[in-house]
A and B are shown apart, each in its own frame.
Chain A
Amino acid sequence: MTTETDQQSAIRCRHLCKHFGDVPAACGVDLDIESGRFLALLGPSGCGKTTVLRMIAGFEMPDIGEVEIGGRLVSGPDVFVQPEQRRVGMVFQEYALFPHLTVEENAAFGLNGRVSHRPERIHEVLTLVGLEGVRDRMPHELSGGQQQRVALARALAPRPELILLDEPFSNLDAALRDRVRQEVRQILRKAGVTAIFVTHDQEEALSLADEIAVMIDGRIMQTDRPERLYRRPASHLVATFLGDANFLPGTARGDTVECELGALPALESVQGEVEIMFRPEDLLLTADDNGPGEIIERTYFGHDQMLKIRMNSQTLLKSRLVGCCRGLHEGQRVRVHLETPVMAYPSRYGCPVATV
């Protein structure tokens, strides 16, 4: 990789749109990733995230919009660079290893195909992914996790500008997935490569990525660091997609919002009718026989538990508590309070009824 690319965006997409027949797969997608960063494109299945990946790789031609890789325009009006000339490595969902080639031949494929051509580079990438010991095996002789790493080594070998990973962990069973995720993250870190991976699993996105772009119905709803995205989702939709959330109607006055839980500090300054959002783990409970709420359901998960509370106003709230909480059983009346600031979204049509 050249040194200039470290200064600028590794990849920039501007207003990418793609329709399949009448079905829009992507509408006005903008992405901008700094060199060396790891971005998760997160969205429910069918939201168009794989289409975006394939437009970047050059397998789909955008209807409109531009793609720039390492400062070079590869897709735009009257420009379309073929996939083989984009210097983009791709790790496919089903790995797509060449079944007729050995591990080292797979790794060498992007380097003119001959192992003897660049032996030191092949040794380097196979060592990086920890597969030096199985370089003579055929793909079908490897475990799922190993195949995954061969695919990664193969993509990394020609030192691409960018690595794309399409649902890279979905073909692994749950026990293996966690370990492989961390391995892949470390391999990509060591390689110092810019990467985009597509996933529908929000936990995966939150735990792996430097940055997450949330995509719903062909649109990017928000791009942010994982912590910010979780704490400060830009909309109701993004908030619910990234985990459990409580919503309440309220009135904002600058830095505070009034709602049935009292005056709460707001994360961002707003005015007027709002819908406030906070995470279940922010809602604290105290057993109190005269409290305004009642525990109506308790679901135990082991390391934590989820409690459903019905307030006197009939509002339903969720609270996630860690550890054992003696005395908090179904039917117990409780007091609730928040200690963290909340998000507040302007409600244009009045506040929707709180949903749990």
Chain B
Amino acid sequence: MSAHIPINRHSETRSEPSLSAGQRRVPSAKRPSLSLRLAAGIVAALALLPLVYLIVRTVEIGPEIVGILARPRTVAVFFNSLGLTVAVTASSVLIGVLLAWLTARTDLPGRHFWSTVTCLPLVLPSYVGAFALIAALGPNGMLQRLLAPLGVEQLPSIYGFPGAWLALTLFTYPYVQLSVRAGLRGLDPSLEDAARSLGRTAPQVFREVILPHLRPAIAAGALLVALYTLSDFGAVSLLQFNAFTRAIYVQYTGALDRSAAAVLALLLVALTFLILLIEYRLRGRTRYYRSSAGALRHQRRAALGIWRYPAVALCAIISLLALGVPVLVTGYWLLQAGAADGQWLQSIDITLNSVTASGLASAACVLAALPIVIYAVRHPSHSSRLMERCAYIGHALPGIVVALALVFFGARYAPYFYQTLFMLVLAYIILFLPLAVGSLRASLLQISPRIEEAARTLGRTSKQTLTSVTLPLLRPGLFTGMALVFLTCMKELPATLILGPTGFHTLATRIWGATEEAFFARAAAPALILVLVSAISIWIILKHEEGDA
């Protein structure tokens, strides 16, 4: 080669690999700061605290565990919970799939109306639903009073398995319905057209094409229902069905057998993890089923013909039970109570309590989620992923389990905080951290790391970049996260019941307590306020999501 062609000598002649790097201790631009890792680590440890302490506590019991496990009562509780979960999941799937299909893919009269109305029960906490069912269908309830002149002395009991099954089905089927509806929307209509062109009839297409595609959506919804049922405390306790959550509460408050409560709680956690494991396995397979998104072509609607009458009747009955009864009952008892005995004044008090605890928790939760999310999204590594998983543990822990573990922990190691608002807020953070992490994560993923790098090239340090660029851009995620946590805290019952300071009543505990003692009039005003707050929060979230899009 001639000399005056300016070839790069190094690149032509040398080929040494340069893996000797990384030994020097020079701060890299990409390495997360110590304070970020420390903050994320503390939050992850906090999230793990209840589970770890529960295990410690159970191990301490020693060989007595076998005895507790073998008690006939323990076995009965286990099968009660399992049976209820299976029954509620099955009936929710049936109703949810049917309603999703009727409202999304048929010519059901008034399908837009029904598709909204049948999803609304999701707003109601289970104990409000249980309150309504008991007040309407229970002994001395509204129905019986209506039927009394006809000579009906007694209605079949609402308490126990039938009541719990009915209540939980009525307030959980929307999970399946929403998930299946999304699945139906994501279904590429050309697949159905293809099946039809290959000689399949409409019912065959439903069985052979649509249903296999909906399987992941159904599974996702069903598993949500199963988790909800297993961890529900409100409906199960008010309707006096001896499932895990109620048994744990009774052991803790009544018998004061804390060891038995701990064993039951750990057993419940094991069952929950089993369900999550199944979900995880199933989710891994869903990818094969998902069709490509963005199929905006018109989907064919099935003609119901004569079947539209029973279809409308079904929608009406379910809406009446799940939505009509709570509204009627609440309205009836509000009128009964009247303005006489200062219910409203008391309600303002407890509403303030609810708002205070939930407000504190929502702000704290979002603050706690921030380091976890930034660490996991901006610095993906084994340890950051592990910490993020830890933050999600609240998703798998029933409220009563977290409450119980914190009571044990607080009584032994933090007597100063025991039965203070601080302890309650801590429980809320652990339980609802996944909501905050989820919405912050989605928000942070929308912000290109290039934008942060741009700030760095313009002279900002990584901390200044966080405050002047990342946080302002995260605002929608922070807001949604706070709203979600706030809403969920307002509805939370078991942790509030167990961890709330003495005499600290919230809307949730008031409704629960009043219903348990059959003072329905006292439950009505808080129930109305709670439903309104829930509805407003959901409206804000929806509004916000529209604004983003």
Contacts and interface: CB of A to CB of B under 8 A. Distances in A.
Given A109-B458, A270-B2, A83 B453 contact: yes
Given A80-B27, A82-B456, A221-B8, A234 B18 contact: no
B17 A110 contact: no
Contact of B457 (A65, A84, A223, A268): A84
A233 to B, nearest CB: 9
Contacts of B29: 58-61, 80, 82-83
B360 interface: no
Interface string B17-38: 1111110101111100000000
Interface string A231-243: 0101000000000
A118 to B, nearest CB: 13
A29 B458 CA distance: 26
B516 to A, nearest CB: 50
Given A63-B20, A64-B18, A234-B1, A219 B8 contact: yes
Interface in B1-60: 1-2, 4-8, 10-12, 14-22, 24, 26-30
A78 B24 contact: yes
A64 B24 CA distance: 10
B11 A219 contact: yes
B526 to A, nearest CB: 40
B469 interface: yes
A155 B457 contact: yes
A30 B10 contact: yes
Nearest to B25: A78
A96 B468 contact: no
Contacts of B2: 268-270
B30 A60 contact: yes
A57 B457 contact: yes
Contacts of A160: 457
Interface string A269-285: 11000000000000000
Given A59-B30, A63-B19, A89-B457, A30 B11 contact: yes
A133 interface: no
B8 A220 contact: yes
B61 interface: no
Interface in B400-428: none
Interface string A53-94: 000011111111100000000000111101111101110111
Contacts of B27: 80, 82
A96 B451 CA distance: 5
B453 A28 contact: no
Interface residues of A, number: 59
A330 to B, nearest CB: 38
Interface residues of B, number: 41
B457 A98 contact: no
B512 to A, nearest CB: 44
B151 interface: no
* Among B10, B12, B461, residue most surrounded by chain A Cβ atoms (within 10 Å): B10
A302 interface: no
A4 to B, nearest CB: 22
B200 interface: no
* Among B1, B453, B459, B460, residue most surrounded by chain A Cβ atoms (within 10 Å): B459
Contact of B8 (A24, A89, A99, A223): A223
A64 B21 contact: yes
B454 A222 contact: no
Nearest to B447: A99
A58 B458 CA distance: 12
Given A82-B456, A92-B453, A154-B454, A222 B6 contact: yes
Contacts of A100: 472-473
Nearest to B21: A63
A350 interface: no
B231 to A, nearest CB: 39
A10 interface: no
A63 B1 contact: no
B287 interface: no
A30 B27 CA distance: 23
A27 B22 CA distance: 16
A298 B484 CA distance: 67
A223 B9 CA distance: 11
B197 interface: no
B450 interface: yes
B458 A96 contact: no
B458 A28 contact: no
Contacts of A62: 21
A63 B450 CA distance: 22
B448 interface: yes
Contacts of B377: none
A209 to B, nearest CB: 15
A347 B459 CA distance: 51
Contacts of A63: 18-22
Interface in A38-60: 57-60
Nearest to B458: A110
B451 A98 contact: yes
Given A63-B21, A84-B461, A15 B10 contact: yes
B275 interface: no
A346 interface: yes
A232 B459 CA distance: 41
A226 interface: no
Given A19-B19, A234-B1, A223 B454 contact: no
A224 interface: yes
A17 interface: yes
A250 interface: no
A268 B3 CA distance: 9
A18 B29 CA distance: 15
20 contacts: A19-B18, A29-B11, A61-B28, A64-B20, A65-B18, A80-B27, A80-B29, A82-B456, A89-B457, A96-B454, A97-B451, A98-B454, A99-B451, A109-B455, A110-B457, A151-B454, A222-B6, A222-B7, A232-B5, A234-B5
Give me the 9 closest cross-chain CB pairs, A-B, nearest first: A63-B21, A110-B458, A17-B18, A96-B450, A219-B11, A268-B2, A83-B456, A28-B10, A63-B18
Given A61-B21, A221-B8, 12 more contacts: A59-B30, A63-B21, A63-B22, A80-B27, A82-B456, A84-B458, A89-B458, A97-B451, A110-B459, A219-B8, A222-B6, A345-B1
